[in-house]
Amino acid sequence: MWQYIFRRVLVCIPVLFGITLLVFGMVHLIPGDPAATILAQSGAKPEAVATLRTQLGLDLPLTQQYANYMRGLLRGDLGSSLFTYRPVTEIIGQNMRSTLALALDAILLAIVLGVTLGVLAAVFHDSWSDNLLMSLAVIGVSMPSFWLALLLILLFSVGLGWLPSGGEGTWKHMILPTLVLGFNAAAVIARLVRSSMLEVLRQEYIVTARAKGLTETIVIVRHALRNSLIPVVTVIGLQFGFLFGGTVVTETVFARQGLGRVAVDAILYKDLPVVQGIVLFVAVIYMLVNLVVDLCYAFIDPRIRYG
């Protein structure tokens, strides 16, 4: 297994290199000049803007800027913000906890809700409950997260006054953002659990298990659900990556401080080191989650071995 992990880590190195190259090129295509933005409020002259560009190294060729960035990255230095001069690692560390907590809560909600609804839809296949649950799943997949967020704020904050419409600090502030992020992921998981369960329930060993006199609950949970979890676990890992990177909209709508909101501000102000650092950090998290998902296959299906 350790050899497999080592090979996967080696594969991740060129992928991360490609990500740094792609993000570096894309952020430099964003219109605007960071130096001019920094000095905009002071009404500085073009000479001062040119001097600041030189100090920040923005007047260098892009190839040399990228080489300088990679040299710092190999030393573990993601650079510093062009506006606050704070290290990017410090900015990520300060805002990571809020984003990670939101993503974990959302994926837990999505797993519980998605697996439960998917199993119920498969067990009561072609019934009114199956049609109702799958209709809700289609709505969850189709509805944009920002639109759902506005609807929930209008209902629970403005209309009923039960929950705060934004901010953070208490458990009540986590409910609406978690629902927004988790609802879409739960819909995806529910649809896949249903299709996987329907395929497994048609297998002969399920008929044999029932013929042995096992209760329907044991047949569904121990035999059918477990043997249909491989594709579900894969999608759960992908959904967690999407949730972790998709907190941008949710944190902006609910005025939460986190990596998503910091990334939006950095893009608006063209704070290049912050954008590059956050994207690279999210990419590393995404790869680690996928590695954990691959390792979970062996625990779900004993026939899988990693050489």
Task: Write down the pLDDT at residue 40.
Answer: 65
Residues 6+ apart with CB under 8 A from 86: 80
**pLDDT of amino acid 302:** 59
In our burial notation (b when 16+ CB lie closer than 10 A, e otherwise), range 90-99 reads: ebbeebbebb
**Contact yes or no for 114/94 (Cβ under 8 A):** no
The encoded tokens of residue 133 equal: 């649950």
> Which residues are CB-contacts of 120 (< 8 A; sequence separation ≥ 6)?
129, 130, 133
DSSP 8-class letter at 78: -
Domains and CATH numbers, the chain: 20-74 (no CATH), 94-300 (1.10.3720.10)
**pLDDT of 273:** 83
**Blockwise average pLDDT, block size 10, the chain, 307 residues:** 72 81 79 70 66 74 81 81 82 84 85 85 78 79 78 82 76 83 83 80 72 73 72 78 73 79 80 83 81 72 60
- Count the alpha carbons within 13 Å of 166 in the hemisphere toward its beta carbon: 13
pLDDT single digits (tens) 36-94: 676 665 566 666 767 777 777 777 777 888 888 888 888 877 878 877 788 888 888 88
In angstroms, the CA 52 to CA 58 distance is 8
Q: What sign does the CA torsion over 11, 16, 17, 19 have?
A: positive
Q: What is the pLDDT of residue 307?
A: 55
Query: Which among 189, 202, 199 is positioned nearest to 133, based on CA atoms?
Result: 189
Check residue 306 and give its pLDDT: 57
Confidence (pTM) = 0.76
Residue 166 has a pLDDT of 73
Tell how far CA 71 is from the center of its chain.
28
